[in-house]
Amino acid sequence: MAYFIRKLVLLLVTLVLVSLITFAVFQIIPGDPIRIMLGPEADEARIETLEKQLGLDKPLHEQYGKWISGVVTGDLGDSIRFSRPVSELIADRLPVTLSLALMSVAIVIIVSIPLGIYIARRHNTLGDVIFSSLTQVGMAVPSFWLGMLLMLYLGMTFSFFSISGYIPWSESITGALGSLLLPAITIAIPQIAISFRYIRNTIIEQLQLDYVRTIRSKGIGERFVIYKHVLRNAMIPILTVFGLIFAEVVAGTIIVEQVFGLPGFGSLLITSISYRDFPLVQGIVMYITIVVVVINFLIDILYAILDPRIRLG
Amino acid sequence: MRNFFKIFITFSTLLALVIVVSACSDKEENSASKGSDEDNGVNIRINNDPDFLDPHMAQASITFQMILNIFDGLLVGDTDGSLQPALAEDYTISEDGLTYTFTLRDGVTFHNGDPLTVEDVQYSFERLMGVETGEALSSNFENVASLDAPDENTFIITLKEPNSAFLSYLTALHSAIIPKNNDGKHNEKPIGTGPFQFSNYSPENNMVLVKNENYWKEGLPYLDTVTFTFQPDDQTALLSLQAGEMDIVAVGSHRVPEVEKDFNIEYQDSNSVLLVGYNQLKEPFNDIRVRQAINYAVNKDDVIEAAFSGYATKLGSNMSPAAGEVHKEGLEDAYARDVEKAKQLLAEAGYKDGFSTTLSISSHAALYTNVAQVVVENLKEVGIDVEIEVVEWGVWLEKIYQGRDYDMTIIDFTGELSPYETIERYQSDASGNLFNFSNEEFDGLMKDVLTESNVDRQIEIYHRAQEILSEDAAAVYMADYQIIWALNPKLEGYKLYPYFFHDLSEVKWKK
């Protein structure tokens, strides 16, 4: 119990610190949200009125004070760029980015774990050499270029895939898959390369340890050795890598959403920063902070499940 | 293995959860209706989201490109730039140029079914002027003395001082007519009288309009739905066009060969002015000889070739030929490229060995970087050493445009329907005068033209004003670049305007 309370307090402290840092950064960088939105030909009277209506004429610390007192009551405020509640914008984007991230991670897991095991057992064969060099390519490919290639060769050939825009799950499951699968693969490929290498190396390492020789000498089948013992022991380091990969995937969505024109979190974040949309930036940063802290927390718990020797606390 | 499955199952469950949750939440509003001739809709690519849906708050040309399909003004700018009656069937201007009397069109209804009344017209102007709130939404109407509605069909605007540019403020671009009973909701649920009515806006995704069955122009529009899809990436937009997902997409000039065979291509003079500006309060740009030297040094043909593959019109002053007869011809070659002359002028100004300076440009469009590279090479030849500084759009607006803290910059200004609005920023005290340009004769002309009622005389004044900008080398006026539209070849009825407007009222699918 003490463990959970400590984690919760840590989360709150992190949130306050992060919001203060974001606030400080906004005080330093130049740029005015209304002017950025309306452009150089904007009517001065309109700018003045809008700034007054949105409370942007007040000093920034007052704006922050207003924002934080709203947050305490559960109101994240309205976005300046989109004139809508921040919480509504975030809730709208969540399914897109979350589906994209989870699909990518699922693809990474489905492909890299079996492939890693398979190649590890054929260590130093031709297949190993080929796959290991392919991963080098996979890691080096920039995602925007990969996205373009997939669009060009898969998107243009099969009408199942949509090249641009997002179709919600509620409207059509196949439509949603069609709009998310290509970007998910785009994000997954470099991550598959990374995790494949890691899994392969970890398993090769494990296979050379004494306990494996002992089990094998007992005459236990190779399959059982790999799946029951080696994989379980390899899981702790692999899990650490997957924690990192999840973070990479979330970062990857930012670029890929731009390329595929998906209305997700990443594009929202970029827009909010370039438009100096203070309430929206704060809302998104808060949200990302919570996700990162929670994921780390879940990974901690998974460690304990996988390896009973690890105690939470 | 069990544990591997555990993780796998956790993720799959999470994924399934997302699918279920989003499937349950009622999201009909998100429908991305793909345009096609089957459902009688079109899908148009737009680079960016609208700034506001409220036509009295919106400013970006990208917004009006879309929402002019929703709203009407008393007048409308036609394809040739002339002003034509819209919600006002007719109008008269008094001899002294102060009283504008409008006869409202009969039988016009708003999208919510209510008839258009003179109260709505009055409300729209009062809202822009901030009569009730004291906070004006537009400074165009500061010159209005009174608004009157003597009867149901007549609306009278009285000015304090004559203003020959006033009529141009009466289109939906500056004063859309909106219903009084929608007060407070104009931004969430905009209502107008245009050919299409607002259906849904999904930020960074799309905006959907549907047919206005009771549009006051008999028999129009033809389309049932119009979807504007927000796609910031040019490359993806082009692929979507080729895959048949989008029907109207603007393509870059260097991509024309890829699309000209399969699509209808329309070239629109954007009526914009791309220029190199310099800060004329700063040395050495306060010296007219230096400014002229820069004008002689920059090769406009190079710029047009490099940045627009030739799809641009060369300019000589702050006005595009797209503006019509008010554009002064013959200025584009006033500073034909002449390296020797440029060097000589620099020597006379005391910069025999040239000088170093900084060219600050915004990063939000590749256009500026492309043009800057050509300009820098051109200037190097006459001994001016230019360093390019790329800043974010927000920084550009604050530091360079507002703060006027810069040496040189590159920007393009969108042309307005009114020539006055197009060049008014060069007045010494204009808020948009980022050049710090100052010329007494110019200031005087701009005051005179407002009180001048004779149209021919107005044109003469505007011609002279453009000459002054050229003579004084107020900036290096480079080009009005064309916007190149690739359209689905089965579409017809698309019209081009000298301002940003996707007029879809007459667009239809060929049988």
Q: What is the pLDDT of residues A197-223, one digit of tens each?
A: 888 888 888 888 888 888 888 888 877
Q: CB of A64 within 8 Å of any CB in chain B?
A: no
What is the four-CA torsion angle of A21, A22, A23, A29, rounded to 10 degrees? 110
Chain centroid to Cα B10, Å, comes to 50
> What confidence category does residue A61 fall into, taking pLDDT thresholds of 50, 70 and 90?
confident
Domains of chain B in start order, with CATH, are 14-67+211-263+488-509 (3.40.190.10), 75-182 (3.90.76.10), 273-482 (3.10.105.10)
The pair of structure tokens assigned to A48 is: 């003045």
Across-strand partners of B484?
A: B251, B267
Q: Determine the residue of chain B that is closest to A267 in CA distance.
A: B204
Which is nearest to B387 in space by CA: B400, B376, B374, B398? B376
The answer to whether A242 contacts chain B (CB < 8 Å) is: yes
Which CATH number does A93-312 carry? Answer: 1.10.3720.10
Q: Is B55 left (phi over 0), alpha (psi -120 to 50) or beta?
A: alpha
Q: What is the pLDDT of residues A262-289, one digit of tens each?
A: 888 888 888 888 888 888 988 888 888 8
A54 touches chain B (CB under 8 A): no
Q: Determine the Cα–Cα distance for residues B187 and B147; give it in Å rounded to an integer.
A: 25
Among B4, B6, B398, beta carbon nearest to A30? B398
Please tell me the pTM assigned to this model: 0.80
Q: Does A27 touch chain B (CB under 8 A)?
A: no
Cβ–Cβ gap A45/B188 under 8 Å: no
Alpha carbons B76 and B407: distance in angstroms, whole number: 39
Distances (CA, A) of A32 to A8, A26, B395, B501: 36, 10, 8, 27
Distance from the A261 Cα atom to the nearest Cα atom in chain B, whole angstroms: 5
On whether the CB atoms of residues B387 and B358 are closer than 8 A, the answer is yes
Residues 6+ apart with CB under 8 A from A117: A199, A203, A226, A231
Higher pLDDT: B410 or A131? It is B410
Minimum distance, in Å, between the CA of residue B219 and any CA atom of chain A: 32
> How far off is chain A from B353, nearest CA to CA, in Å?
35
CA atoms within 13 A on the CB side of B172: 32
Q: Which of B397, B406, B416, B499 to mutate to test the interface with A (most CBs of A within 10 A)?
A: B397
pLDDT score recorded for residue B286:
92
- Alpha-carbon gap: B36 to the closest alpha carbon of chain A (Å): 14
pLDDT at A311: 67
Q: pLDDT in tens for each of the 511 residues of chain B?
A: 444 545 555 555 555 555 544 444 433 333 344 445 567 899 999 988 898 999 998 888 889 999 999 999 999 998 888 889 999 999 999 988 899 999 999 889 999 999 999 999 999 999 999 888 888 888 889 889 999 999 989 999 999 988 888 998 999 999 999 999 988 889 989 999 999 999 999 888 889 999 999 999 888 899 999 999 988 888 888 888 988 889 999 998 888 888 888 999 999 888 889 999 999 999 899 999 999 999 999 999 999 998 899 999 999 999 988 888 889 988 988 899 999 999 999 999 999 888 999 999 998 888 899 999 999 999 999 999 999 999 988 889 889 998 899 999 999 988 778 889 889 999 999 888 999 999 999 999 999 998 888 889 999 999 999 999 999 999 999 999 988 999 999 999 999 888 889 999 999 998 7
* pLDDT of A206: 85
A274 vs B contacts (CB less than 8 Å): 364, 392-394
What is the rounded CA–CA span in Å between residue B383 and residue B376?
A: 10
Q: Which of B8, B60, B204 sits opposite A109 (nearest CB)?
A: B8
Q: Which of A42, A98, A166 sits opposite B205 (nearest CB)?
A: A166
Looking at the DSSP assignment, which residues form a beta bridge with residue B278?
Answer: B408
Interface test with A, best of B59, B132, B420 (most A CBs within 10 A): B59
Choose from A170, A231, A297 for mutation: most chain B CBs within 10 A: A170
Strand partners, B481: B312
Q: Which of residues 129-188 of A touch B (CB under 8 A)?
A: 148, 151-152, 155-156, 162-171, 173, 176
Mapping DSSP to helix (H, G, I), strand (E, B) and coil, where does residue B226 land? strand
CB contact under 8 A, B206 and A173: no
Q: Are B320 and B327 in contact (CB under 8 A)?
A: yes
Closest to B302 measured CA to CA, from B255, B337, B345, B340: B337
State residue B477 phi and psi, 5-degree precision.
Answer: -85, 115
Q: Given CB atoms, is A312 within the 8 Å cutoff of chain B?
A: no
| CA nearest to B227 within chain A | A165
Cα(A307)–Cα(A305) distance, rounded to whole angstroms?
Answer: 6
Alpha carbon of A17: minimum distance to chain B alpha carbons (Å)? 26
Whether residue A43 and residue B414 make contact (CB cut-off 8 A), yes or no, is no
Per residue in A17-43, pLDDT (tens digit) is 888 888 888 778 888 888 888 888 788
The domain ranges of chain A are: 93-312
Nearest to B363 by CA among B394, B399, B400: B394
CB contacts of B24 in chain A (<8 Å) are: 170
> Is A259's CB within 8 Å of B233's CB?
yes
Residues on chain B touching A151 (C-beta within 8 angstroms): 236, 239
Q: What is the amino acid identity at position B301?
A: D
Residue type, A264: G
User: In whole numbers, what is the pLDDT of chain A averaged over residues?
Assistant: 83
DSSP, collapsed to helix, strand or coil, labels residue B251 as: strand
For residue B8, what pLDDT is reported? 52
**Minimal Cα–Cα distance from A256 to chain B, Å?**
11
Asked if B130's CB is within 8 angstroms of A259's CB, the reply is no
d(CA B66, CA B199): 13
CA-based nearest residue in chain B for residue A246 = B11
pLDDT score at A1: 66
Chain B contacts of A160, Cβ < 8 Å?
none
Amino acid at B486: A
Q: CA-nearest residue of chain A to B401?
A: A40
Task: Flag whether pLDDT at A253 surpasses 90.
Answer: no
How far off is chain A from B340, nearest CA to CA, in Å?
36
Residues linked to residue B83 through DSSP beta bridges, in sequence order: B77
How far apart are the CA of B46 and the nearest CA of chain A, in angstroms? 11
Q: Which of A42, A113, A164 sits opposite B59 (nearest CB)?
A: A42
Contact B162, B97 (CB under 8 A): yes
Q: Do B59 and A40 touch (CB under 8 A)?
A: no
Bridge partners for B486 per DSSP: B249, B265
- Distance, in Å, from the CA atom of B41 to the CA atom of B35, rounded to the nearest integer, reads 5
Residues whose CB is less than 8 angstroms from the CB of residue A147 and which lie 6 or more positions away in sequence, other chains included: A182, A183, A186, A256, A259, A260
* Spatial distance between the Cα atoms of A220 and A89, rounded to a whole number of angstroms: 56
- Residues B110, B116 contacting (CB under 8 angstroms): yes
- Omega before A190 within 30 of 0, i.e. cis: no
User: Quick one: tokens of A291?
Assistant: 């996700």
Q: Which of residues 277-296 of A touch B (CB under 8 A)?
A: none
Q: Which residues of B touch A235 (CB under 8 A)?
A: 3-4
**Residue B357, CA atoms < 13 Å, CB-side half-sphere:** 25
Phi, psi dihedrals of residue A31, rounded to the nearest 5°: 125, 140
Contact indicator for B197, B15 with CB cutoff of 8 Å:
no
ipTM over 0.90: no
Q: Could you tell me which residue, B12 or A114, shows the higher pLDDT?
A: A114
A268: chain B residues, CB-CB within 8 Å: 203-204
Separation between Cα atoms, residue B205 and residue B208, nearest integer Å: 10
Find out whether A35 and B400 touch, Cβ atoms under 8 Å.
no
Measure the CA–CA gap between A102 and A163, rounded to whole angstroms.
20
User: Which pLDDT does position B418 carry in this prediction?
Assistant: 85
